[in-house]
Chain A
């Protein structure tokens, strides 16, 4: 009944709900929503990256004991170097043994001389093997959860080597994480506001259409047409317009989003981001798939927002009509 006789009940919903008003408005709302979703997605990625990255990393600097503690050893000779190396090795092995048995670590990695060299060359301007001072051993710890290193592990490490330096970067990373989460929350709030405004716009358009069709609706109601019948007639029209508006808004948002992705990709956790400079096709392969799916879903979301807000306003209006 609802679909078969749509043109023979006298309800001219096409005229009562003209597309030239609703489609551009919904398209504009969808465009904004697409930007909000992209922003929320970027915020989520950033928060995830920070919480799983820098926040869970602890750097251990293990200086050789006897060099730092004994001023007389500061003059380098062959016997001291041998002693230094053996002490350093013993201390390091103990630490590695301790870290291997620790349950609070996801993993740890001792930086090789080559890696340290690569890291320090820009500052030292020479190879560390030719450097007069001995360079501390560096171990990168990855904690299992985004927590701080336990006092027990810290004390055990200090017991092996009291001069060990433990650098935990979670103070700033936690704050950055909070900032990223706040940005994400703001994006979701803005998305909610945009959705709410879209629903209000649809509701106002529906109310105008209902007033235009009031006489026919009253006659239909008096002939026994249910609230559901009338609401479906309006909801189908508005949902269709919202769907079309959704597609237009989504399509218009794509070029801007591609440009923003191009700008922000170097900050992402994607290790292959550098290939964006190799050409458009390479760039397109790096686009987040989830986000593309989301933009396909946007018009469908609009359809349901259109349907639900129209149905609610029609039911409300009909209850006040009779």
Chain B
């Protein structure tokens, strides 16, 4: 669940990203986040991922008031919210296997479970033969698949994706969307930022349009 109450978010000397916005996204929703380039979609996702705080207002994520919570609580909360960055943000000195397994290791999971889950997702991503390689040796599409694998491996409650299909071919996009729907069926809230209208048309879902500091909901958000 994501709830915003009169939230203002702005950087100094620039137009506001959010201006007195209130919004409620129920748990298990699937929605697109759209808006013109530079309007602040990525910043909004980063705010949902607790990387930046709003200048004013209240935010509740998964029933936790993020402005009143302690840092340790927010760290635990971050383990339930995953993000796929546009620039992937993989750790260059780790192998693909270790990059994907990292969220599980930070949750102190047993190494046999980590091994099983990581190998399964590597297989699904068609990267099982490249486990010992480092991210820099891979193509953009492969790096994106690793970033996606890392984001979903710990079965998050909220998945935020910033242009996740940019570097993927059509077949991979279809497979990825299937995966997102499967996760959504398991109760995960999914917000995908994109400016790919074809994709939105192909996979209809409620749309959050960020424009002039306001979020316009184009369609009723379904739980």
Contacts and interface: CB of A to CB of B under 8 A. Distances in A.
A224 B78 contact: yes
- For the residues of A in contact with B, the DSSP-based class is loop
Interface string B96-129: 0011011101111001000000000000000000
B89 interface: yes
Contacts of A221: 75, 78
A10 B79 contact: no
A89 interface: no
Given A8-B98, A10-B98, A220 B83 contact: no
A189 interface: no
A222 B83 CA distance: 9
Nearest to A223: B103
A147 B112 CA distance: 75
Nearest to B91: A10
Chain A CB within 10 Å, residue with most, of B91, B99, B101: B91
A5 B105 contact: yes
Contacts of B102: 8-10, 220, 223
B94 A223 contact: no
A10 B94 contact: yes
B93 A225 contact: no
A142 B102 CA distance: 74
Interface in A3-52: 4-5, 8-10, 12
B71 interface: yes
A227 B107 CA distance: 14
Contacts of B51: 222, 322
B41 interface: no
A225 B106 contact: yes
B76 interface: yes
Interface of A: 1, 4-5, 8-10, 12, 216, 219-229, 319, 322
18 contacts: A1-B108, A5-B105, A8-B101, A8-B102, A9-B102, A9-B105, A10-B94, A219-B91, A220-B106, A221-B75, A222-B78, A223-B102, A223-B103, A225-B75, A226-B71, A226-B72, A226-B75, A229-B106
Interface of B: 49, 51, 71-72, 75-76, 78-79, 83, 89-94, 98-99, 101-103, 105-108, 111, 150
